[in-house]
Structure 1
């Protein structure tokens, strides 16, 4: 006989009170909080970053691209880490902030980077690519500006990896197992909707691949370094094209 469906006690004949009592007994506190908080953080970061009044309150010395990185770090890293540390009372290293066996299993990341580099170099000849990257306009103006932006961008990628391949992966994984990889890839794809369709579609497969590698290594650092390496290559290629174009 097949196992009963998990929601089989909920039927058109049961009362809403009975349904609620059943769900309350089935839903675990931590995965529930993680998904609710994640939805609030994603929504808050998106709308806060898009508010016009926020831009008017940022000092002129801080470009919008840098303030955007700051918001990402706040919403994707600091606030989830606060929840893990002070509400769940768990170690951050258990959510991917550990190197673990990355030195043994870092080669898939190197392969992915080596595949991306020639693609980026070819794309850098596209006028749209040159006008789009780097996000921080001063990065192409001086070495200091470039280094400042890449440092901020690197922190942004650590936050992104921690949120999608740490917070949304290792927390629910205790209940959902490897299905957490699939679930974490969904919002990761959705945050790319404002970008070209190819990049959004690619984010689906990137989310699955990076989720698997984070799961295998119990670490987000490989994905963060890969993201950062790709971003530096893109910004460097674009800046060189502008310099010699």
Structure 2
């Protein structure tokens, strides 16, 4: 009898496990984030603005668990890759050129986010509260920080370092960029296309520094800029101060 599926070798596991864990972690977040049941839990118990805020925050915090904590634990237990191996370290070398690139990339990304956010899009900001105050904005920013820390850990950690080790740098970066762009397809053509150069550059910075922090910080500041400008441009949202 022909064996169509060979046994999983240790070498194969270095790529198969991260890819599988990333798929499961992302889908666990995705289906919960788009769950009407989760939305009803908040909207049946709170006023509209509070429900909008805490529903999105809870979903983003869940994303931090499914794309950050859970994959970190599984990879540690299954193939011996610790969070430190996956880039949860400050850059080992004080390379001025790398930080110039990081700051430059951050400035460009924030500027592009600001330009894009000037156009009204009903899906942003994700927190659809009508009246905002300092607490609303702070919780919104915290939710983005948690979510994007987990998100970058998944893409620039789980889906990069082990695959570089198993397949080489270019195949790993190519796979990473393709998957990163694919996750943005539901958000529209512009985001899916824009994710290609951004994904490549974030991979490059991560591999050059050996750290996730530049990518995490760039992505967080981009999201904060986008959501803040979107709020300011939204015709049905107002600022109530404290």
Normalising by the residue count of structure 2, what TM-score does the alignment of the two structures yield?
A: 0.81
Q: Give the number of the structure whose alpha-carbon radius of gyration is greater.
A: 1
CA distance, structure 2, for counterparts of residue 80 and residue 69 of structure 1? 16
The one of 50, 60, 65 aligned to 1:69: 60
Q: 1:112 aligns to what?
A: 105
Q: Does 1:55 align with 2:39?
A: yes
Q: 1:16 aligns to what?
A: 2
The one of 118, 143, 152 aligned to 1:161: 152
CA distance, structure 2, for counterparts of residue 144 and residue 57 of structure 1? 21
Look up the SS of the partner of 1:148 in the other structure.
helix
Deviations 1:202-233 (A, max 9, x none): 11221111111111111111111101111111
The one of 143, 164, 167 aligned to 1:173: 164
CA distance, structure 2, for counterparts of residue 110 and residue 205 of structure 1? 16
The one of 61, 82, 90 aligned to 1:99: 90
Q: Does 1:35 align with 2:13?
A: no
CA distance, structure 2, for counterparts of residue 157 and residue 110 of structure 1? 18
Q: 2:194 aligns to what?
A: 202
Distance 1:44 1:107, change over 3 A: same
Unaligned runs of 5+ in 1: 1-14
Deviations 1:117-171 (A, max 9, x none): 443444444233xx44321234961112101110111111111110000011112
Distance 1:123 1:202, change over 3 A: closer
Contact 2:29 2:59 in 1 (8 A): no
Higher RCO (CA 8 Å, separation ≥ 6 residues): 2
Contact 1:139 1:146 in 2 (8 A): no
Deviations 1:18-45 (A, max 9, x none): x534x64585223222222222222332
Q: Does 1:126 align with 2:122?
A: no
1:78 positional shift: 1.0
Contact 2:18 2:159 in 1 (8 A): yes
1:110 positional shift: 1.5
Q: Does 1:79 align with 2:65?
A: no
After superposition, the CA RMSD in angstroms is 2.6
More off after superposition, 100-109 vs 213-222: 100-109
Q: 2:206 aligns to what?
A: 214
The one of 165, 170, 190 aligned to 2:182: 190
